[in-house]
Structure 1
Amino acid sequence: MKRIGLISDTHGTFDDTLRGFLADVDEIWHAGDIGSLELADRIAAFKPLRAVCGNTDGGTMRRVWPTVDFFRCEEATVLMTHIGGYPRRYDPRILQRIQSARPAIFVAGHSHILRVMYDPVYGLLHLNPGGAGNYGIHKVRTALRFVVDGADIRDMEIGEWPRSSELLRG
């Protein structure tokens, strides 16, 4: 059994709010737009990190983190990328990977919109944790926590917090 924390679009933010929400997880998955290699290192020092780079992660980030990762967690296969879309609206660049890999879990970020959806066409659970940082189109910061136990995905929890009031003024 593994407890997973899922975040995306931190854009340089990894504060006490996120650390508190992720304190009891075994590992953190980051679906891109981390913000910097230094921030990725801070997250990895806090908990084991598995990440993909996002469209705003450039340079060194692209040499360290893949744009697409396919891996196993317990008995569940996971496909993770930053720009991937969602059921019935997958990005064409990732749809072929979904069709060939047939993951149990498909993780994407980028939209800053939290989505947890079952896709009956491909038999997968689509997860987008929304935007965990203070920058972007989202009005609230969000993240997910859940358990992967064998092939079962359970105990899904949503974290939701206001963005920094200093950044909302304008």
Structure 2
Amino acid sequence: MIKIGLISDSHGYIDQKVIDYLQDVDEVWHAGDIGDLRVVENLPRDKARRIVTGNIDDQMARQSFPEEIWVEIEGLKVGIIHIAGKPPRYAKGIKEKIRENNLQLLVCGHSHICKVEYDKSINCLYMNPGAIGQHGFHAMRTMLLFEIHNAKVQNLRVVELGKRGV
């Protein structure tokens, strides 16, 4: 079993509240729009990291992290990409990537809207943790905590981190 802390859209901001939630996970995933590499530097150092870049990330971030991750964890096929749209209206080419990689879990960011939905049309769980940052139109800062065990996502929790700008 692997415990995951999923964040996105930090836009250069991370606070102690986020870091405290990440203390109890095995892996930290960041679904893009890091904004400033100091965000990554402030993540707990003893955790495995899976980080992708987003549309606001600069060349230094792009040299450090990929745009996409396709991986199998505990028997679960996972894709992490910043811009993916949402079920049933995915961004161009995303459904094809889901099918090509036989994904069971698609993780993305970009919208700043926390959403988890199983898309039965392609047999894939969609997860977007919302945004942990202060920049954007979201009202509530959010992240997701969950576990992967025997090719299944379990014990999923939405964490509300407080209102943006407060």
Class of the TM-score when normalised by the shorter of the 2 chains: over 0.9
- Residues 107/62 of structure 1: CA separation in 2 closer, same or farther (3 Å cut): same
The structural deviation recorded for 1:19 is 1.2
Shift in Å, 1:163: 3.1
- Please list every run of 5 or more consecutive structure 1 residues that lacks an aligned counterpart in the other structure: none
Match of 2:55 in 1: 55
Deviates more, 1:43-52 or 1:102-111: 43-52
Q: Is the 8 A contact 2:19 2:44 kept in 1?
A: no
Deviation by residue 1:67-121 (Cα, 9 ceiling, x = unmatched) = 1110111110101100001111110132221121121100010000000000101
Q: TM-score, normalised by structure 2?
A: 0.94
Q: Deviations over 1:2-29 (max 9, x none)?
A: 0000000011122111012222111111
Q: How does 1:66-85 map to 2 (within 5 A)?
A: 66-85=66-85
Residue 128 to residue 118, structure 1, CA distance change in 2 (3 Å):
same
Partner residue in 1 for 2:107: 107
Question: Equivalent residue for 2:9?
Answer: 9
Aligned to 1:21: 21
- Supply the distance in 2 between the matched residues of 1:38 and 1:16 (Cα, whole angstroms): 13
Counterpart secondary structure, 1:45: coil
Aligned length, in residue pairs: 166
Summarize deviations over 1:143-168 as a string: whole Å, max 9, x none. 0000100211100011002235xx36
Q: 2:10·2:133 contact (CA, 8 Å) conserved in 1?
A: yes
Q: Secondary structure at the match of 1:35?
A: coil
Could you say which residue in structure 1 is the equivalent of 2:126? 126
Relative to the length of structure 1, the TM-score reads 0.92
In structure 2, C-alpha distance between the alignment counterparts of 1:50 and 1:44, rounded to whole Å: 13
Matched ranges for 1:147-158 at <5 A:
147-158=147-158
Structure 1 CA distance, aligned partners of 2:154 and 2:138? 26
Amino acid at match of 1:98: I
Distance in 1 separating the partners of 2:36 and 2:159 = 23
CA contact (8 A) 1:53 1:65 kept: yes
Tell me the CA shift for residue 31 of structure 1: 0.3
Structure 2 counterpart SS, 1:111: coil
**Structure with greater proportional helix content:** 1
- Percentage of matched positions with identical amino acids: 38
Q: CA RMSD in A?
A: 1.4
CA distance in structure 2 between the partners assigned to 1:163 and 1:147 by the alignment: 26
Cα distance per residue 1:15-52 (max 9 Å; x no partner): 11101222211111100001122322322625221110
Q: Helix, strand or coil: the match of 1:143?
A: strand
